[in-house]
A and B are shown apart, each in its own frame.
Chain A
Amino acid sequence: MGKEPATDDKAFIELDGLEKVFQVRRRAGLLRRERREVRAVDGISFRVPRGEIVGYIGPNGAGKSTTIKMLTGILMPSGGRLRVAGIDPTRDRTRLARRIGVVFGQRTTLWWDLPLRDSYGLVRRMYRIPDARYRANMERCVDLLDLGDLLDVPVRQLSLGQRMRGDIAAALLHDPDVLYLDEPTIGLDVVSKAKVRGFLRDLNAERGTTVLLTTHDLTDIEQLCGRVMVIDHGRLVYDGALDGLHKVGESERMLVVDLERELPPIDDVPGTRVDRVEGPRQWLAFPAARSAAPIVAAVAERYPLVDLSVREPDIEQVIARLYADRPGL
């Protein structure tokens, strides 16, 4: 192996006007075929510094998977510039492959008929992992992902959650610098999801692994990602902190108050709007960016308050609104 290319830690993953255009042929009559261009990725630029966990989200067909395929080098961009760890993915796919790990929720990298242990043996040879490192990483993964009892079970007999944990371990045995996760918690139960998230958080904290996470589960994003990128119709429509998404999406927080008795809607607290009334309980909506304290004080001063709670906005709604706001894009 040659020496590693010089990398810029501030732009560990770097995209500059990345494009992918597919030619789709469609039957338009008995013999006629219509050619149509589909711009799956339409000029995306971003930089991800080393050690960051970034959520890459968007509706189905937005271009997420296409981006990831280009980032791993299995799909050639139609235009733009692209570097991962200083490597041009399409030109140097195999060299890049040694430095990245990929986990698909819907596919497996493990060998169906072989026990988990044998799959890991093949992974070890494939990435030429030195013995000591392999043993240490195995121990760690087996411990943290609860794989101890599963190592001798053929992959086809594993449950979805078990297989997923097995897949994550397989992607990490060679200590990748970058980890791409495509729907890593899809179809998992709550306990398994929590386990996977906890593991990823620790991995990032201890090893500084850069993670690009594609998901439809916004809890994944809330718990793991400091930064989110939202893509729609092949374009980046938001790139920033999760909180900022609320501002862009004009989201609201909700103050839920329980009063002593049924009362008419609370309409005399400025900056709020009554969302719902159910007996003595009322829901007051207010802009997410505003502080809840003066509102709580105002309500407590004027009404017989028994209990209250503040609900954070639902990210899912925020993003839905973000998509809806951009018709015709």
Chain B
Amino acid sequence: MRLYAAVAVSGFRRHATYRVATAAGVFTNTVFGFILAYTFIALWDERPHLGGYDQGQALTFVWVGQALLAAVSLMGGGFEQELQERIRNGDIAVDLYRPADLQLWWLSADLGRAGFQLLGRGVVPLAAGALCFELTLPTAPLRWLLFLCAVTLAVVVGFALRYLMALGAFWLLDNAGVLMVGQLLSLFFSGMLLPLTVFPGTFGDVAQALPWAAVFQVPVDVLLGRYAGTGLAGALGFQAGWAALLLALGRLTQARATRKAVVQGG
């Protein structure tokens, strides 16, 4: 286990070296936050309590969203490009020669990356949002702790989804399209563009049951205090369930891939 802790630390440090990229990311997240915030204000002025949120909660949704965007890798920027490229050019062979588990290795590295991006790209945009708008952030430390648990599970679910898609490169020589579709799906079905609770009927129900909901909608709702008691346990269980299922699916695919597919290049 110490190996994977070391891998996570190296993932953190790797991303910490790119300071300019981090600053640019913080700037983008903040600007985006403002644009989305004013859009949401216009929406909620027209339709108060849309999706069951008041305006303060809706704005919190926006800014927490910008703070989490990089950490849960909703718009890419995680490990998946690198993994896919390593499969494509055959460097994956190097990873397979190691006495380490491929999936655990990349998961640890991605958790390290997420840890850095939660701090490096999360704190400033959220602070900017809290200064300029009236957000309904909780004061109870326990709520923040639960939020952190939910975010960790969200990172794992996000990882498991992208891991599966990146493994597609074992079968498709050009896997870029798969990742692109994955990104679009995650951006919408995570609730990043609009809270999933806004959508009515069956579509809304289905959207809230998909794994992408576990990546973003659920942790924000945990922070907003929309779950209590067994509901809270259910929400975290929903995330954990998807995480377990997708990780298992990833392992299965990985086993098939390494057994059947040709490792590219000589």
Binds B, one of A67-75, A252-260, A297-305: A67-75
A109 — which chain B residues lie within 8 A by C-beta? 94, 97-98
Segment 56-70 of A: residues with Cβ below 8 Å from B: 60-61, 64-65, 69
Interface residues of B in 198-223 (CB under 8 A from A): none
Q: Which residues of B contact A61 (CB under 8 A)?
A: 266
* Known A-B contacts A121-B6, A125-B2; A75 and B263 likewise in contact (beta carbons under 8 Å): yes
Q: A99-137, CB under 8 A of B: which get 1 and which 0?
A: 010101001110101100010011001111000000000
B38 to chain A, nearest CB (A): 38
A184–B136 alpha-carbon span in the complex (Å): 60
Interface residue tally for chain A (C-beta within 8 Å): 31
Q: Report B-chain residues with C-beta under 8 Å of the C-beta of A125.
A: 2-3, 6
CB of B7 within 8 A of chain A?
Answer: yes
Number of residues on chain B facing chain A (CB within 8 A):
22
Q: Is A160 an interface residue (CB 8 A)?
A: no
In the complex, which of the residues B6, B13, B14, B97 contacts A72, with contact meaning CB atoms closer than 8 Å?
B97
Q: Name the residue of chain A whose CB is nearest to the CB of B109.
A: A111
Say yes or no: A74 contacts B10, CB within 8 Å.
no
Q: A110's closest neighbor in chain B, by CB? A: B94
Instruction: Identify which of B10, B91, B99, B263 contacts A118 (C-beta below 8 A).
Output: B10
In the assembled complex, B39 has its CB within 8 A of some CB on chain A: no
| Chain A positions within 8 Å of B259 at CB level | 76
Partner of B10, one of A60, A72, A98, A114: A114
Contact with A along B250-266 (1 / 0, CB 8 A): 00000000110011001
Contact call A104/B99, Cβ cutoff below 8 A: no
Please state if A98 and B99 are interface contacts (CB–CB under 8 Å).
yes
CB pair A126 B93 closer than 8 Å: no
CB distance from A30 to the nearest CB of B (A): 20
User: Across the interface, do A126 and B91 meet the contact criterion of CB distance under 8 Å?
Assistant: no
Residues of B within 8 A of A118 (CB): 10, 13
List the B side residues contacting A266 at CB < 8 Å. Answer: none
Q: Are B91 and A107 in contact (CB under 8 A)?
A: yes
B56 at the interface (CB under 8 A from A): no
Say which residue of B2, B17, B97 sits within 8 Å of A102 (CB atoms).
Answer: B97
Q: Are B13 and A74 in contact (CB under 8 A)?
A: no
Residue of A nearest to B91 (CB): A107
* Separation of A74 and B14 alpha carbons in the complex (Å): 28
A46 is an interface residue with CB less than 8 A from chain B: no
Contact of B178 with A by CB under 8 A: no
Instruction: Convert A139-158 into 0s and 1s, putting 1 for each residue whose CB lies closer than 8 angstroms to a CB of B.
Output: 00000000000000000000
B90 lies within 8 A of chain A by Cβ: yes
Chain A interface residues toward B at CB < 8 A? 22, 60-61, 64-65, 69, 72, 74-76, 93-95, 97-98, 100, 102, 104, 107-109, 111, 113-114, 118, 121-122, 125-128
Task: Identify 11 residue pairs between A and B in the complex whose beta-carbon atoms are under 8 Å apart, listed by A's number.
Answer: A69-B93, A69-B263, A72-B96, A74-B93, A74-B97, A74-B258, A102-B94, A109-B98, A118-B13, A125-B6, A126-B100
Which residues of B does A touch, CB under 8 Å? Answer: 2-3, 6-7, 10, 13-14, 17, 90-91, 93-94, 96-100, 258-259, 262-263, 266
